[in-house]
Structure 1
Amino acid sequence: MDKPTLAPPDPPAQEAPGEERAAGRRSGSRHRYLLWGTALVVAGVVAAAFLRPHGESGRRSSGRHAALDVQPVAVATVRAGDMPIELTELGTVVPITNVTVQTRVDGYLMKVLFTEGQHVRQGDLLALIDTRPYEVLLAQYKGQLAADQAQLDQARIDNARYQKLIRQNSVAAMTAVDQQYKVAQLEGTVKQDQALVDNEKLQITYCHIIAPVDGRVGIRQVDMGNYVTAGQTNGLVILTQMQPISVIFTLPETELGPVAERLRTGVALPVEAWDSTNTRKIADGAVSVLDSQIDTSTGTVRMRSIFPNQDETLFPNQFVNAHLLVNTEHNVLLVPANAIQTGPNGPFTYVVKPDDTVEVRDVKTGHSHGDVVVVTSGLKAGESVVTDGTDRLHAGSKVTVPAATPDGAAPETTDTHPRRRQGQSGANGAPASPGGSGGSGQGQP
């Protein structure tokens, strides 16, 4: 049986070269569009899966982000009050009287009657110098005085007799006149002798060294038994008046006008003495005198203030900070100094509005004292200004003020940071597991 003969297939139709390239471009474009569309769909699904809130966990996350937008701050109320205008200058404690006790006669120091550091009164006997040489001279001068006084008495009797005889023309006039001159000469001699006697008495008085003022004696410079001379170096001891005592400080010439005006009115300007670190007040006093000229090399004028110093907290040559109260401004607006911020336009502050948002308010400031500043414009009494937590604030920021605890301790604040909170508790507030995953984020128990 013969096998059927199959006809060969027809050769495929060949397209023109230009049509083939056009079809390839259309196919590639459709392929790219399909890939881009698939990628967008996948990205949308992934974003929806990760960003869409899931149950209770999503609501907590939204609450946390909302809480993060609220800034906890500390506030203070603008109040009306008095502001002292005070100048702080460096001063030195200077005694009103500082005496180097000297001897005015030469001799051996027989007694020292004071103790180092002792407080003495004016007129107290401090030391005694040997008086015997001066007592011997005193006796000699007294003898000379007695002899000359006897001659004077005799001459006066003779003069009285000659004056009687001359009236009777019984003696020559020259003899009577010579007798008068002799009486005058002897009177002079007696006065000279008396001066010598008084001088020796004074030397004996000088042998008794007494305190010229009230004060405190320092370290003894000479021991008993030494020979001392008048005007010797360092003297016997230094006596310093401690009560009252003064503080001398310098005032800039730019501040001289208000201070001099207050002094001319007779008002006593209070002065406080603070320690060298300016952290502790030592004593209270008042200005006593303003110097008569300005020091051209420093542009300052010296002032002296007097302090009672009853407890002797001020010590000579001690460096202190003198706080001079020049004046007091009454009924001005006062705010804490940390409420004033500085910006491109000058000082400003954050004012808390009734809706718990802040407003940026430009202000003008005046004098300051301690941590309080005078605000001359921009604020009203009773307004609340932010004093702490200003680093993240801007106009319109929402703020909250933590309530103070009854015992004055810092209030507890809720940590709203998601990562920190996750490490602290689980999804339902339960303690976190040791692994640090407190919850699944899906609201599961």
Structure 2
Amino acid sequence: MMANPGWKQATRLTACVVMSIALAALPSGCTKESARALSGQGAGKKGASGPQPVLAAVSERKDIPIEIRAVGTVEAYSTVQVKAQVGGLLMRVHFKEGQHVPKGAPLFSIDPRPFQAALHEREAQAASAKVEASNAEVELQRAASIFKKNIISREEYDRARTTAESKAAAAVAAAAAIENARLLLEYCEIRSPIDGRTGNLEVHEGNVVKANADTPMVTINQVEPIYVTFAVPEIQMPAIRRAMAQTPRLPVRVTITGEEDEPVSGTLAFLDNAISRETGTIRLKAEFENHERRLWPGLFVNVTLTLGRRENVVTIPSQAVQIGQDGSYVYVIRNDQTVESRPVVTGPLVGNDMVVEQGLAAGERVVTDGHLRLSPGAKVEIKKSL
């Protein structure tokens, strides 16, 4: 049967139209190779696209620190709530809110006049008691002299002795009352018990303050030195204790958000004596000198506790490690510029370096970028950037 020439011409015209529409639909960024692939050119030619561009790095041996990371909270080294020990009119406040005050610096002055008067009264009472005690002692000596001559009875002598002892005790009590009055007078001047920074002032000049009121007059926080408190999982406790047995004051550094390039260094000062039942963590405290006062009570910081160092371990950039169904693996570049998918056992991450416990030797090249285009046996070309 002879084919219709008109039908063949129509078929070729239709194919051309379809191909033109398909090529027109390609994005402007498509390559000529994409167009040829769509038109069927080069089909079946393995590796027609050439070596795949990748970034690579060489595994190397390093000494790395053994670290535990956590989020911590800055706490004052010491906090004192200042309260009046005597009541009275607040005459003067000697500081401004937020001011740093040294230990012993005056903070408040309470009207001392009532306490000065009380002291004078106690001094007068003590002088009178002293005179009475002296007279009673003289009477006792006289009574003892005439008692020996049997001029007075035993009862009268005992009475004189009792009176002398009572007057002597009253004189001692009067002297103690003087000391108490002086102490109350000293309490009118309230001084800072620590070096620290004052907080919000709760009472102002002209107010009457009460002794041992519920609300403190001001709170002082000692910030030099200062603590950072943080918690770590209980599973980390054995490693921490082993490290503390070698170095009791383990190094700790913290970074503040926005100032990651300027860490603050300190030492571990405290390991709590119990693990929290609610969280399964144990609380630790690190101490920092804080001379620059960058750490402030209540601030959240990133904490790094260093337990020691591991020497001569194999490391690679962390981005070289991929996660598959069977675990972690890396693409190793062989001498013929083809890649091998190799499973690895990874250790801790230190900065950007991932420790490789098994599966990789020092000096091997691994792919760090361009993994999505690779498969085992693919040929690659190492680039400086993609």
- Under a length normalisation based on structure 1, what TM-score does the superposition of the two structures give? 0.74
| Corresponding residue number in structure 1 for 2:118 | 137
* Preserved CA contact (<8 Å) 1:286 1:306: yes
For residue 357 of structure 2, the aligned residue among 364, 367, 376 is 376
Partner SS, residue 274 of structure 2: coil
For residue 87 of structure 2, the aligned residue among 78, 84, 106 is 106
In structure 1, how many angstroms separate the alpha carbons of the residues matched to 2:74 and 2:204?
A: 30
* Preserved CA contact (<8 Å) 1:282 1:314: no
Partner SS, residue 348 of structure 1: strand
**C-alpha deviation, 1:66, in angstroms:** 7.3
The AA in structure 1 aligned to 2:145 is K
In structure 2, how many angstroms separate the alpha carbons of the residues matched to 1:325 and 1:96?
A: 22
Partner SS, residue 224 of structure 2: coil
* Preserved CA contact (<8 Å) 1:289 1:303: yes
Question: Is 1:169 the equivalent of 2:150?
Answer: yes
CA radius of gyration, larger in: 1
1:260-279 Cα offsets, whole Å, 9 max, x none, are: 23224443222222235795
* Preserved CA contact (<8 Å) 1:282 1:313: no
In structure 2, how many angstroms separate the alpha carbons of the residues matched to 1:362 and 1:90?
A: 32
**C-alpha deviation, 1:363, in angstroms:** 1.4
| Corresponding residue number in structure 2 for 1:247 | 228
In structure 2, how many angstroms separate the alpha carbons of the residues matched to 1:263 and 1:72?
A: 48
In structure 2, how many angstroms separate the alpha carbons of the residues matched to 1:384 and 1:278?
A: 34
Q: Which runs of 5+ in 1 are unaligned?
A: 1-27, 43-60, 404-409, 414-445
In structure 1, how many angstroms separate the alpha carbons of the residues matched to 2:129 and 2:47?
A: 119
In structure 2, how many angstroms separate the alpha carbons of the residues matched to 1:237 and 1:267?
A: 36
Question: Is 1:159 the equivalent of 2:140?
Answer: yes
* Preserved CA contact (<8 Å) 1:351 1:384: yes
The AA in structure 2 aligned to 1:302 is R
In structure 1, how many angstroms separate the alpha carbons of the residues matched to 2:328 and 2:180?
A: 78
| Corresponding residue number in structure 2 for 1:309 | 290
**Higher RCO (CA-CA < 8 Å; seq separation 6+):** 2
For residue 213 of structure 1, the aligned residue among 194, 198, 201 is 194
Question: Is 1:392 the equivalent of 2:338?
Answer: no
For residue 300 of structure 2, the aligned residue among 319, 322, 347 is 319
Count of aligned pairs? 351
For residue 76 of structure 1, the aligned residue among 57, 62, 76 is 57
1:12-51 Cα offsets, whole Å, 9 max, x none, are: xxxxxxxxxxxxxxxx5xx58xx9xx99xx9xxxxxxxxx
Partner SS, residue 179 of structure 1: helix
**C-alpha deviation, 1:90, in angstroms:** 2.1
- Under a length normalisation based on structure 2, what TM-score does the superposition of the two structures give? 0.84
In structure 1, how many angstroms separate the alpha carbons of the residues matched to 2:379 and 2:303?
A: 45
For residue 210 of structure 2, the aligned residue among 220, 224, 229 is 229
**C-alpha deviation, 1:131, in angstroms:** 0.4
For residue 281 of structure 2, the aligned residue among 300, 305, 323 is 300
1:339-373 Cα offsets, whole Å, 9 max, x none, are: 11122322111111222222222211111122211
In structure 2, how many angstroms separate the alpha carbons of the residues matched to 1:152 and 1:344?
A: 99
1:414-441 Cα offsets, whole Å, 9 max, x none, are: xxxxxxxxxxxxxxxxxxxxxxxxxxxx
Q: Which runs of 5+ in 2 are unaligned?
A: 13-40
The AA in structure 2 aligned to 1:136 is A
| Corresponding residue number in structure 2 for 1:196 | 177
Percent identity between the two aligned chains:
33
* Preserved CA contact (<8 Å) 1:105 1:206: yes
| Corresponding residue number in structure 2 for 1:364 | 345
The AA in structure 2 aligned to 1:389 is G
For residue 71 of structure 2, the aligned residue among 76, 90, 94 is 90
* Preserved CA contact (<8 Å) 1:90 1:322: yes
**C-alpha deviation, 1:246, in angstroms:** 0.5
* Preserved CA contact (<8 Å) 1:278 1:321: no
The AA in structure 2 aligned to 1:367 is P
Question: Is 1:347 the equivalent of 2:328?
Answer: yes
1:205-255 Cα offsets, whole Å, 9 max, x none, are: 100000011101122211111111112243221111010110111121121
In structure 2, how many angstroms separate the alpha carbons of the residues matched to 1:183 and 1:264?
A: 66
In structure 2, how many angstroms separate the alpha carbons of the residues matched to 1:222 and 1:67?
A: 84
**C-alpha deviation, 1:282, in angstroms:** 4.3
Question: Is 1:262 the equivalent of 2:275?
Answer: no
* Preserved CA contact (<8 Å) 1:272 1:281: no
For residue 131 of structure 2, the aligned residue among 150, 162, 165 is 150
In structure 2, how many angstroms separate the alpha carbons of the residues matched to 1:254 and 1:280?
A: 30
Partner SS, residue 197 of structure 1: helix
Partner SS, residue 309 of structure 1: coil
The AA in structure 1 aligned to 2:323 is T
Partner SS, residue 220 of structure 1: coil
In structure 2, how many angstroms separate the alpha carbons of the residues matched to 1:363 and 1:318?
A: 40
| Corresponding residue number in structure 2 for 1:424 | none
**C-alpha deviation, 1:68, in angstroms:** 3.3
| Corresponding residue number in structure 1 for 2:35 | none
| Corresponding residue number in structure 2 for 1:53 | none
